[in-house]
Amino acid sequence: MTTALLDVSDLRVAYPGRGFRARPHEVLHGVSLAVDQGETLGIVGESGSGKTTIGRAVLGLVKPSGGRIGFLGQDITHCTPKERRALARYIQVVFQDPYSSLNPSLTIGDILSEPLVVQGATARGARARVHELLDQVGLPADTFARLPREFSGGQRQRVAIARALAPGPKLIVCDEPVSALDLSTQARVLDLFVDIQRRTGVAYLFISHDLAVIRHVSHRVSVVHRGDIVETGPAGRVTSEPEHPYTQHLLLAAPVADPVEQRNRRVERQRLAAAPPTAETHRNSPLKQGS
């Protein structure tokens, strides 16, 4: 029996309440999930569902109030700062806004070289590795000497992906990495994620509010609603024939090019909102009939 790369069990996170005597507000109520090596687990849900908090807990950016986070069989739930720095070599992140995540005063070469030098690479070795990374994410060699402001949003996100790949991680947490990009750029960046995974075997915890994005990159999908995972399964099944009413709402909310289908989805959403689905209405839903 193989051990999952990432194993999250009964994770709970609570934020301080507003006011002197306010009780903490729990945003995750016992979330459990696992990511295998070389796999992409998509986390999808609406704003405020708690999906980003899962990623932040894995990265050590928020402190869990309960549960366990395991990585390669080791408990990393309450790592010390020193242990977390060592762990950064194996767990990296790509944030939503590529520009704010890059130091505007440093060249791309310096941004990408920094984590390598910290790990002990020589200046020459770091430079060679940076040129390899730039080629890997489809950026020209002269990118090395340029500043982040000289690039488009899609190009800056490629730089952010290259930085995440620099130390050779086993897991990358992708927190809404394409939501700030236009649709055509989104497609190219998503294809890049898939291609990099195919070539390197890196695993992704891919967080998004967009079912279409999640469908494109994920092997499995977990749907988060109000701090709980309400449905988990293969990406193809969850994003086309969802079983939970909340996932059905997410699918019906996604726009489609066909105006007739869009109208049918709007009517179905109104029907589901007015009368929560029973087993019978679920069987008769257009989503289950392949419409």
Residue 276 is classified by DSSP as -
- What phi and psi, each to the nearest 5 degrees, are found at residue 236? -60, -40
Going by pLDDT thresholds of 50, 70 and 90, the confidence category of residue 248 is confident
pLDDT in the model for residue 92 = 96
The gap between the terminal CA atoms of the chain, to the nearest Å, is 40
Q: What does the pLDDT look like over 182-192, one tens digit per residue?
A: 888 999 999 99
Please state the CATH superfamily assignment of the domain spanning residues 1-90+170-177+192-226 in this structure.
P-loop containing nucleotide triphosphate hydrolases (3.40.50.300)
Q: Tell me what percent of the chain is helix, strand and coil, each rounded to the nearest 5.
A: 40, 20, 35
pLDDT in the model for residue 274 = 66
pLDDT, mean of residues 245-255: 82
Q: What does the pLDDT look like over 14-55, one tens digit per residue?
A: 998 887 778 889 999 999 999 999 999 999 999 999 999 999
Q: What are the residue ranges spanned by the domains of the chain?
A: 1-90+170-177+192-226, 97-166
What is the number of H-type helices and E-type strands within the chain?
Answer: 11, 10
- Indicate if the pLDDT at residue 283 is higher than 60: no
- Indicate if the pLDDT at residue 267 is higher than 60: yes
Amino acid at 130: V
Closest of 36, 48, 76, 66 to residue 226, by C-alpha: 48
Question: Structure tokens of 221?
Answer: 């999908």
pLDDT in the model for residue 266 = 65
Distance, in Å, from the CA atom of 56 to the CA atom of 96, rounded to the nearest integer, reads 13
Distance, in Å, from the CA atom of 259 to the CA atom of 49, rounded to the nearest integer, reads 29
pLDDT in the model for residue 11 = 97
pLDDT, mean of residues 240-244: 91
Task: Specify the DSSP element, H or E, that contains 204.
Answer: strand 203-208
Q: What is the mean pLDDT of the chain?
A: 88
Closest of 4, 68, 6, 30 to residue 206, by C-alpha: 6
- Indicate if the pLDDT at residue 230 is higher than 90: yes
- Indicate if the pLDDT at residue 99 is higher than 90: no
